[in-house]
A and B are shown apart, each in its own frame.
Chain A
């Protein structure tokens, strides 16, 4: 029976497929006593679950072949271990449930293997995986972690953390639906980076049964449950038409009257460059450099390692602009060797540039690596610091850049309201501004980006946020300098027009959004964008601002 759910669309496109849950349950069954007369039934359940898991592991092994098959077969033998089975039976006989008996029986072996040297400690992960499979099956819940599927699926989760998503196979994920999160949550950012449709903040999303077919429209935020075959066909056709129209658009970002607004890509590492080039990005507006630092939380990567990685990205945009953000550690991206461990409120603590000023050697190494990476390349290198609060911050960063001998433009990110309000004084030290609208919204509204219940306040259409963007853009215009947006706000085609109207000079976004934004900008004049921006700022709510801008642009 077809049913429609509505959330917030955060990544364009349509995906149709079966849902798979991202398991988050901690698989520790309760230790309730089971009545003696049910012991027989529990024994049978345990046996059935063990056999099913073993059969599944063997089937997977046959598909995988090679080294993976050997590991999966060994796991099947662990599941069917006769000593383990005897232990499970003993525990059930004295009143344990099947799931608790399995859990406890595995725990005994786990301790034995974990203490028995390096090789066996490595097998503990295999053992835990087998235990989770059996216990999850008995409890009727999904396995913890990334769904175990060989078929493409729509990923369903409460919300996604960076660690979860690192394990996702992009070839298998058709789209995302999450119950929590907002337009700036990791789920949304990841979906845009992967170029798959996503709907977030959908109440009741996690109650959809595993395997339910859904159609996800990442533009409208609609999720159709069990759509009919005709409906699926129609959605696919519409999506294909939309895609074809977008593919036909190309060239630099500009309004219909020729006002240029460079469309740049947000990239998280050399791996994102191909998609950026394919989407027609005119450069990179936000090159996040954290990826280099996440492999080893004990120390910074060497200057040589950094140089090589930066050069891969700088080399991909000859004649183009690449804006590199220096390491933004802390808050939701803590690094053990840099971030204080015991801050009461990390988002308001030592993070971003504050961390780097406390560790000048880390900043100096990164800046030297960037200088070396750009040597001999025709690229326009720009380097910016995250979390600049005031002029002193901006000066300290500019000084560090000069000391490192960096031939580049130095800029400041505007993520703290103080930086937007006093943009003019910051521009006395640096050559450009870049608005990070995600953090700017978080700090303007005192609303944590990760808290789905506050999505209303993280909405980039909030007029207060638009006011801050306008203030920063005006200060930049008066100083004859650039002011870009590299937050997720730039990926909303309608909002991109409003930002242009506010005076923003470049827009940087996940590559997949570039064609949509290019298409929207090309339909309106700069003057129309300005009027839409005025109308949006005159509203008193995010919805009001969106509706007002929409009315201006569709009425003309």
Chain B
């Protein structure tokens, strides 16, 4: 199981536009990724509803996990997106 701990770079947290950006990115990496708050239950990172219910705020730490082949590369890209609060998934 590969994991990345990242701090959310979007000031508004995983709501509104950043939530859409993140959900689309999680679906685009092609492997199933989960996201959790520290110590919390993980939810499907490609689920808008799961993400909204997670309610992660800007500056909060979240854990991205994946155990599929290619997990490291996928997590790397998602981690960068979240940490830097980008508008779209970075290439690598």
Contacts and interface: CB of A to CB of B under 8 A. Distances in A.
Interface of A: 70, 73-74, 77-78, 81-84, 109, 112-113, 116-117, 119-120, 123, 127
Given A77-B24, A81-B47, A82-B47, A123 B52 contact: yes
A78 B50 CA distance: 10
A120 B16 contact: no
A232 to B, nearest CB: 44
Contacts of B24: 77
Interface in B1-38: 15-17, 19-20, 23-24, 27
A429 B22 CA distance: 72
Contact of A113 (B17, B27, B47, B53): B53
> For chain B, which range describes its interface: under 10, 10 to 19, 20 to 34, or 35 or more residues?
10 to 19
Contact of A77 (B20, B43, B44): B20
B44 A119 contact: no
B47 A120 contact: no
Counting from the closest, the 10 A-B pairs by CB-CB distance are: A77-B48, A83-B47, A109-B49, A81-B49, A70-B17, A78-B48, A112-B53, A74-B20, A81-B48, A81-B47
B55 interface: yes
B53 A83 contact: no
Contacts of B78: none
A84 B47 contact: yes
A81 B46 CA distance: 7
A117 B20 contact: no
Contact of B53 (A74, A77, A120): A120
8 contacts: A70-B16, A77-B19, A77-B24, A83-B50, A112-B53, A113-B52, A113-B53, A116-B53
Contact of A82 (B16, B17, B20, B44): B44
A84 B52 contact: no
B26 to A, nearest CB: 10
Nearest to A80: B48
Interface in B31-72: 43-44, 46-50, 52-53, 55
A12 B33 CA distance: 62
Contact of A120 (B23, B43, B44, B52): B52
B15 A119 contact: yes
B20 A83 contact: no
Contacts of A84: 47, 49
B44 to A, nearest CB: 5
A116 B55 contact: yes
Nearest to A83: B47
Given A82-B44, A109-B49, A112-B49, 7 more contacts: A74-B48, A78-B49, A83-B43, A83-B50, A119-B15, A119-B55, A120-B55
A83 B44 contact: yes
A83 B49 contact: yes
Q: State the main secondary structure of chain B at its contact with A.
A: helix
Nearest to A78: B48
A116 B15 CA distance: 13
A444 to B, nearest CB: 56
B56 to A, nearest CB: 12
A117 B48 contact: no
Contacts of B52: 113, 120, 123
B44 A74 contact: no
Contacts of B43: 83
A141 B13 CA distance: 38
A116 B55 CA distance: 8
Nearest to B16: A70
B54 to A, nearest CB: 9
Given A116-B55, A120-B53, A74 B16 contact: yes
Contact of B23 (A70, A77, A113): A77
A78 B47 CA distance: 8
A220 to B, nearest CB: 51
B43 to A, nearest CB: 8
Contacts of B23: 77
B25 to A, nearest CB: 12
Nearest to A71: B16
A82 B55 contact: no
A75 to B, nearest CB: 9
Nearest to A110: B49
Nearest to B46: A82
B80 to A, nearest CB: 21
A120 B57 CA distance: 13
A74 B55 CA distance: 15
A160 B44 CA distance: 43
A425 to B, nearest CB: 65
A393 B88 CA distance: 70
Contacts of B50: 81, 83
